[in-house]
Amino acid sequence: MTIALSLAAPALAQSPGTDPARRYSACMAQARAEPVRAVSAAQQWYKEGGGLAARHCAAIAFYGLGQYVEAGTELERLGREMTGQSAQLRAEVFAQAGQAYQAARLGEKALAMQNAAILLDPRNADIWVDRSITFAAVSAWREAASDLSRALELSPNRTDVLALRAAAWRNAGDAAKALADAEAALKLEKDYPDALLERGLARRLRNDRAGSDADLRRVIALAGEASELGKRAKDALQGTAPAKPTPPKR
């Protein structure tokens, strides 16, 4: 999963009209585009008094460099130290720490951060999606489906979440629920590749070979044979066991 690089509010950098806020925005943009330079810039800013904002920018740059443990550790520290900030902002930072730990394959740490984020901001649908990905990584499919159901209660009619829940139900062995979720997503977006893939896989489990083949070929046509989705569709057409779902980018 791609870490959410734009924190919801520039509160870490004081008010939007201040120079620190503009510097924070510039640093975060650099963290996305040039993380090596962003680390140095953020560390220099911290020496100049950049505080939490500079540290947050450095952590995001670490993530961009693939230094997931370092990113997660710093984001976790930030979340714990931001006692003067809003619960929603702290939840975002803990959620980012969870994403970093998940990328580092530290599932228990990821889950701890996501639990902390949910306690702070239980109405943030994306955090429930994040935790579902952590559950899915350890094949806790029913727990993943439960979190995705909560996300859909908070943010209805999201095609990405419906497709993810279809995958969770499929892996949990409930092809009927998987098919229902995939079809619900396709009613919202008729050519959504992830949902087409899940419907194709669910139809295969229900012995609808013709319908499955049509969906899987459509995925390849839309996403391309060389794409990850295209490869998964091709594998399914050839009888290879389907892989775990790919989490959505944020």
| Per-position DSSP letters for 114-156, written without gaps between them | HHHHHHH-TT-HHHHHHHHHHHHHTT-HHHHHHHHHHHHHHS-
Query: Residue 137's pLDDT is what?
Result: 94
Whether residue 247 has pLDDT greater than 70 = no
Whether residue 2 has pLDDT greater than 50 = no
Domain spans of the chain, in order of start: 1-122, 158-250
**Residue 31 banded pLDDT, cuts 50, 70, 90:** very high
Fold of the domain spanning 1-122: 1.25.40
pTM (two decimals): 0.86
- 116-163 confidence digits (pLDDT tens): 999 999 999 999 999 999 999 999 999 999 999 999 999 999 999 999
- 54-95 confidence digits (pLDDT tens): 999 999 999 999 999 999 999 999 999 999 899 999 999 999
Phi-psi region of 248 (alpha: psi -120 to 50; beta: other; left: phi over 0): beta
Q: CATH number of the domain at 158-250, out of 3.30.750.24, 3.20.20.70, 3.40.50.720, 1.25.40.10?
A: 1.25.40.10
pLDDT, averaged across the chain: 90
**Residue 21 banded pLDDT, cuts 50, 70, 90:** confident
Sequence letter at residue 150: R
Tell me the two tokens of residue 19.
């120079």
Query: In whole angstroms, what is the distance from residue 207 CA to residue 179 CA?
Result: 12
Whether residue 9 has pLDDT greater than 80 = no
Query: In whole angstroms, what is the distance from residue 40 CA to residue 51 CA?
Result: 15
- 198-228 confidence digits (pLDDT tens): 999 999 999 999 999 999 999 999 999 999 9
- Cα–chain-centroid distance for residue 63? 14
List Cβ neighbours of 207 (8 Å cut-off, separation of 6 or more): none
Percent of the chain with pLDDT over 70: 88
SS (HEC) of 56-122: HHHHHHHHHCCCHHHHHHHHHHHHHHCCCCCHHHHHHHHHHHHHHHHHCCCHHHHHHHHHHHHHHCC
Higher pLDDT, 239 or 148: 148
Say yes or no: do domains 1-122 and 158-250 share a fold: yes
The angle subtended at Cα 52 by Cα 48 and Cα 54, nearest 5°, is: 50
Is 116:79 a contact under the CB 8 Å cutoff?
A: yes
Whether residue 187 has pLDDT greater than 70 = yes
Whether residue 249 has pLDDT greater than 60 = no
Whether residue 246 has pLDDT greater than 80 = no
Q: Which of 47-51, 196-200, 244-248 shows the highest mean pLDDT? A: 196-200
Query: Residue 89's pLDDT is what?
Result: 94
